[in-house]
Each structure stands twice: as C-alpha cells, then as structure tokens.
Amino acid sequence: MTLVAQNKEFAGSESREKLTAVVEAALAEVKQLGASSAKAAIGLSQGLSVTVRLGEVETVERTRDKALDITVYFGKRTGSASTTDFSPAAVRDTARAACTIARYTAEDEAAGLPDADRLAKKIPDLDLYHPWNPEPEEAIEMARICEDSARAVDARIVNSEGANFSAGQGFEILGNSLGFVGSVATTRFSLSASVVAETDSGMQRDYWWTSARSRAGLETPENVGREAGRRTAMRLDARKLSTRRCRVLYEAPIASSLLSHLISAINGRALYREASFLQGHLGQKIFAPFVRLHEQPHLKTALGSAAFDDEGVATSARDLVRDGVLLGYVLDSYSARKLKMQTTGNAGGVFNLTLDPGALDFKGMLRELGSGLLVAELIGFGVNTVTGDYSRGAAGFWVEGGEIQYPVEEITIAGNLKEMFQSIVVVGDDVDVRGSVRTGSIMLDGMTVAGS
C-alpha cells in the first residue's frame, strides 16, 4: 500500500515520486540480495537560522540535509547502513553494506518489522506543512526586534545572550517490505531571546520563546522579547531559602519535565531491561485520582502530531493514565516483543501527550498554592528512573498569601517520583503547547526544599 500525506508538496528539489522510487529501489535491491524483510527511510530537511546579539548579526546559517537509511533482516539478524547519495549505484552499495552487516550480527528474537495489521492504512491531513521561506534580512529584523524589546523592558538589563530565529521544513518517507509506503511534510518555526540583568546583588538571566508549525502561530517578536525581559528582571535580587518542606508549583514550561520522567519510566526499553521504578505497575494507581494523561496524535498543526510512528505503525488517541491508574506503556515493536506485548505505536516517542487541565488559571494556581515555592527553572539531571529518586537544582519565587514575594535561587528540590505523582493536587489551565508534551502548571502537595 502507498500512503501519501495530504499536505502540500515539500518545497525541495526532488519530487515525492522520485524519492518514493528510491525507497522502492532500495527495498527491491535488498530482497534480491536475500533479505527476508527490510525497511528504508528517506529524510530531507532545509532551514534558515539567524542569531542577533546586542543589535549585531552573529550568525546566519542555511542548512540542507538528506539521508537514506536501510535496515535489513535475515531472519532475526539485523543490519543497517545509510547514505546521502541517492544515485542508483549508491543505493545498491548501501543495500549491500546493510546485508553484509546483518550476516555478522547475532540473532535477536525480538528483531523485525512491525506486524502488518498494525501499519497505517490511512493518513489524515494533520495540517503540518506551512511553507514560509523568509530572506535572511527579514529573519534578522525579527530577531533584532525581539532582542530590542527584551532589552527595553528594564534599565537593569545590561547584556544579552542574543535572539534567535529559525525556520525549517522537512520531508520524510518510510517504506517496508510489507508493502507500506508513507510520507509526510512538516514545517517548524521558532523565535527566542535571552537577556541578562544586573544589580549590586549580582546578575540574573532568563529567556522566552515561541514555536509553531506556521508563521501565524508564532507570538510576535515584541511579545517574545517583552516576556524574556520581564522574566529576567523579576529574578533580580534573588534570595536563598532555609531548608524546609513545602508545597511546590511547577510553572507550565517546567511541569512538562515531570511527565517526561514518567514516559522514561514506562518506555519499553527501560521496562524490558528492568530499569524502571514503575516496573510491574500496569493497572495500578500511580497518580492522584483526578489525573488523566492521554495521547492526541492527530491534533491539527500541533508540534507533536503524527499519523504514523517511525515504524509506520498507525498512531491513535489513547489514555495512558485515567483516574490516576496506569493503563498503558510506551512501546515500539522491538520492546513490545521483549515484553510479550503489542506495540503501542510509539516508535520515536509520544505524540501530543496531554495532561487534562483543571479550572484554575496561573493566578488562581498561585492563590491555591498559598505559601510555597514556584519553580521557574530546573538545573542538572538528578533523576534516577530505576529508583524514582529525584533531586534537582532549582530557581524560582517564594509565594505567600497567593502572591509572589521575592525570587529565590541556589536551592535543591528533592523527593521520589512515585510519591510526587501521587501528591499532585491541582493542574492549571495554562497549558503550554510548544512541544510534544502538553500540560499546565502542576502543584505538588509537599517536597523537600534544601537551601542554606
């Protein structure tokens, strides 16, 4: 079956038909060489990135990349090879290289293509392709306006790490020996700024960004810059906290990291290696009873949308957690076989993983917090997915009476993820949609905050 995404043609020099022919030629070549099954994937990308710092252009970069990856199976032996040359001779050489590698690898009973009945049969139009090719001058002007807006917020903003604008588009086509050929074109644009402020007590930095599939989906350069400047100025004259146990509110852009730790723990590769603190927790309550966490892979224009995963398996909406109970893992075909389960269509990750929001906006969340810590930045990687132990450096704000009182820094927040998930008391409606994990701010009933 040949499936074609419904969005417009990728604005590359090579047609979709020509690239499909390359994939099909690769599959035919490895079959002739004796492979029992195979897959081939082509990826094309092109983009523009500019950086402006203190009003001056620092970098202007254009990128254009392409690659063909071939994976073959001789029974349960696997081999892979890649090339950036799509000529018939190069495709044949790459196919031969993959087959040669496969003959020298050990057998792996979990290796192989996904089951044919799990492959995508239809590809919905997810509206992921919105081509816009700004000239460098336009991109530079957007970055310059963004940085100028950030620096103008407060006289104490004395330096800048720069503003960056990037525009990219890509095309991917995947085929396998089961007859599947699917393709998709995508675009992504982003704009960010980071500035530095200073008082007698020291320097602080912060940033803000916007990201979307289309130009229309971006915040204006002025808004991005003003938010970057506002956040930086708010962090001036930060204090240290004494060690205590208190309520903690993760701001929405930071809260997504909590869900990322969950995904790491219920990922098939961690589970079959018995390297997860959630080993054997399927069907058990791991969150507060009101929590629902689900995938929405077919949201139009969303950054985490996809009609099929990296294996061609159809994606579908599903609950991972409902009423606080863990209902599903995150599996590709390999890890599913290791666990004697079925793939969940998550080769390559999760797709618009969404934590259902509550009714409170951010100000309402602060009032609900009452007295506690608002976390605006996390530092370091002190998370152990084997034990669930959690300890990360943090910065943010101390809140009293539901109002931000002063910024804080040089603190560590610690707990265990299993207990932290259970202690979620409120989720805000301030959902951050700038990635594949979508959540509002998250409040935890209590964590240890280590300070001075």
pLDDT tops 70 at residue 14: no
* 139 and 83 share one domain: yes
Listed residues 210, 234, 258: the one ending a domain: 234
Tell me what the pLDDT averaged over the chain comes to.
96
* Distance in Å from the first CA to the final CA of the chain: 64
pLDDT tops 70 at residue 184: yes
Sign of CA pseudo-dihedral 178, 180, 181, 184? negative
pLDDT at residue number 129: 97
Residue 111, domain member (yes or no): yes
pLDDT at residue number 6: 41
Backbone angles phi, psi at 383, to 5 degrees: -125, 125
Enumerate residues 6+ apart whose C-beta is below 8 A from 334. Answer: 110, 111, 268
Tens digits of per-residue pLDDT, 337-352?
999 999 999 999 999 9
* 64 and 139 share one domain: yes
The burial class, CB within 10 Å (0-12 / 13-18 / 19+), for 435 is: middle
Residue 2, domain member (yes or no): no
Strand boundaries in 75-146, DSSP class E = 77-83
**Neighbouring-strand partners of residue 196:** 159, 205
* 211 and 251 share one domain: no
Residue 7, domain member (yes or no): no
Residue 338, domain member (yes or no): yes
**What is the CATH number for 186?**
3.30.2290.10
Residue 9, domain member (yes or no): no
Nearest partner of 115 among 314, 327, 279, 286, judged by Cα? 314
Nearest partner of 412 among 388, 428, 429, 396, judged by Cα? 396
* 80 and 199 share one domain: yes
* Residue 248 to residues 158, 205, 231, 415, Cα–Cα distance (Å): 31, 22, 19, 11
* 216 and 334 share one domain: no
Tens digits of per-residue pLDDT, 212-239?
999 999 999 999 999 999 999 999 999 9
- 3-class secondary-structure state, position 171: strand
Region 312-328 average pLDDT: 98
Listed residues 200, 234, 268: the one ending a domain: 234
Region 298-313 average pLDDT: 98
pLDDT at residue number 12: 46
Tens digits of per-residue pLDDT, 83-109?
999 999 999 999 999 999 999 999 999
Q: In which band, very low, low, confident or very high, does the pLDDT at 15 lie, cut at 50, 70 and 90?
A: confident
Nearest partner of 356 among 276, 415, 312, 294, judged by Cα? 294
* 219 and 320 share one domain: no
One-letter identity of residue 434: R
Structure pTM? 0.93
Domain count for the chain: 2
Q: In which band, very low, low, confident or very high, does the pLDDT at 1 lie, cut at 50, 70 and 90?
A: low
Backbone angles phi, psi at 164, to 5 degrees: -130, 135
* 224 and 280 share one domain: no
Listed residues 204, 234, 264: the one ending a domain: 234
Region 263-278 average pLDDT: 98
User: In the Cβ-directed half-sphere of 73, how many Cα atoms lie within 13 Å?
Assistant: 18
Question: For residues 88 and 20, what is the distance between their CA atoms, to the nearest angstrom?
Answer: 13
* β-pair type (244-250, 372-379): parallel
pLDDT at residue number 2: 54
Tens digits of per-residue pLDDT, 403-428?
999 999 999 999 999 999 999 999 99
Name the percent of the chain lying above pLDDT 70: 97
Nearest partner of 182 among 13, 27, 20, 423, judged by Cα? 20
What is the residue whose two structure tokens read 């203190």? 54
* 71 and 197 share one domain: yes
CB contact burial 254-274 (16+ within 10 A = b; e otherwise): bbbbbbbbbbbbbbbebbbee
Residue 26, domain member (yes or no): yes
Tens digits of per-residue pLDDT, 377-409?
999 889 999 999 999 999 999 999 999 999 999
What is the domain range of residue 220? Answer: 16-234
